[in-house]
Structure 1
Amino acid sequence: MTYCVGLKLDRGLVFASDTRTNAGLDNIATFKKLHVWEQPGERVITLLSAGNLAITQAVISLLTEHIKVAAEGRPTLMTVDTMFQAARLVGSAVREVRAIDGEALAANADNFFVTFILGGQIKGEEPRLFQVYSAGNFIEVSDDTPFVQIGEHKYGKPILDRVTRSDMRLGEAAKMVLLSFDSTLRSNLSVGMPIDLLLYNADSFSTERQLRIEKDDPYFQKLSQDWSDALRDAFAEMDELEEI
């Protein structure tokens, strides 16, 4: 399994993903699930993936191959004019992979289950954020709920529900996202470090604020401990239930 988060804020976008994949308790590996296509000064497109690793890798490879071997008249992530059109390309790639592998997967009782978070900015429009489903359809994030999660999302959702604000600073949002990951890591072994993190400043068309957070990262360790201490202190200060 995996856990990925995307946020659309007034100041830009925040993306984060874990890197664990497993096919059983004794077969655990690390794979990058945050993928970026960038044309400095013109566009930044980011894709986070969850689900069957072979399928997600096939979709990523197909999108990249179309960029490298651009056929006349065929749009690619580097030529589309809007992020909406980019979302349609990702959906089309999912359906193309399903057409090739879907029948074989079904015959072997494997599910064709993948989800993606697509976000970025193309010059001429504001940053946008989408969730793409296994069928290739998608939705766009709204101002009412400016974040989207895929994978093992339930453990990390409460803090996002309570704390997310569209006017957050990107560094503040990154702190919140990492606490969301901390909660998930504590409760689910199928999600694991390192964590890939990307902070995108609106209109920068640059991915310079990208980093990988390892298990022994001093900031993450301190953040996790401070959060645990703060929760314990808040709990201790609350009134107890009166005896009945």
Structure 2
Amino acid sequence: MTYCVGLRLDRGLVFMSDTRTNAGVDNISKYRKMFTWNAPGDRTIVIMTAGNLATTQAVVSVLQERTKAPEDRSPSILEVPSMFQAARLVGNTLREVIEDSAPGTEPEAESKFRATIILGGQIAGAEPRLFLIYPEGNFVEASAETPFFQIGETKYGRPILIRAYEPDMSFEAAVKLMMVSFDSTIKANLSVGLPLDLLLYETDQLDITSQRRIEDDDPYFNLISDNWGEALKFAFGSLPDYKL
């Protein structure tokens, strides 16, 4: 299992993903689930992956390979003219990898190779955009009504996002919101865990300047985790008791 969130703000885009994968309680590993393609001044593209690990790694490998010799392996994610076309490229690649992994099998067998992807970023001359890409290769785009996407283990971290998100919030507040969402998920599901990868993208920056890994001993994350737990206890205690 995994947990990834892509958030659209007035200021730009925020991405966060965990790094835990598991194939049973005795087989837990760490794999990066956030990947970037960056051409300063032209484009910054980020994807986060959830689902079958072999499928997601194959998709990323295909996309990376096409950037190394785009004249021979077109289309390249570094050459598509728009984020919409980038979403189509990633969606088609995901669908093709799944079909190649389970040729001629029943849908139930094919489902073992399924994966979902969050894609976001900006290409020069257009606004930043954020997409959720499904295993079938189709996708939806974030909007004012749906300003964030989650993939993986989504249910535990969703309530705080719904209640606290504001489109004009600062990056600092957005990171705090993301950390509370991830802390809630980590506390409720052992298949999601640190380290976390964080990337902040500011509109029209067209470069990656704010990206970091949050380790288990990160003082700010641990402060948020401890204080959020105490704040919940205080809020619960301040509610009126039920009258018998």
TM-score in terms of structure 2 length: 0.96
Q: Secondary structure of the equivalent of 1:115?
A: strand
- Alpha-carbon separation, structure 1, partners of 2:235 and 2:169: 23
Question: Does 2:212 align with 1:236?
Answer: no
1:27-51: per-residue Cα shift (whole Å, max 9, x none)?
1110000000000111100000000
Residues 70-97 of structure 1 deviation map (CA, whole Å, 9 limit, x = unaligned): 1369321111111000000001111221
Residue correspondence of structure 1 range 1-244 to structure 2 within 5 A:
1-71=1-71, 74-103=74-103, 109=109, 111-243=112-244
1:14 partner amino acid: V
Structure 1 window deviating more from structure 2 (169-178 vs 63-72): it is 63-72
What is the deviation of 1:208?
1.5
Change (3 A) 1:178 1:105: farther
Q: Which amino acid aligns with 1:69?
A: A
* Contact 2:50/2:116 (<8 A) preserved: yes
- Percent identity, please: 53
Alpha-carbon displacement from aligned partner over 1:114-138 (angstroms, at most 9, x marks no partner)? 0000000000011100000000110
Structure 2 CA distance for partners of 1:105 and 1:192, relative to 1, 3 Å: farther
Amino acid at match of 2:151: I
Residue segments in structure 1 that go unaligned for 5+ positions in a row = none
Displacement of 1:234 in angstroms is 1.0
CA displacement at 1:99 relative to structure 2: 2.9
- Taking a change above 3 Å as real, the CA distance of residues 102 and 203 of structure 1, as seen in their structure-2 partners, is same
Q: Classify the secondary structure of the residue corresponding to 2:193.
A: coil
Q: Supply the AA of the counterpart residue of 2:63.
A: L
Partner deviation per Cα, 1:157-191 (whole Å, 9 max, x = no partner): 00001011111111111110110000000000110
Gaps in structure 2 of 5+ consecutive residues: none
Distance 2:236 2:222 in 1: 21
RMSD: 1.6
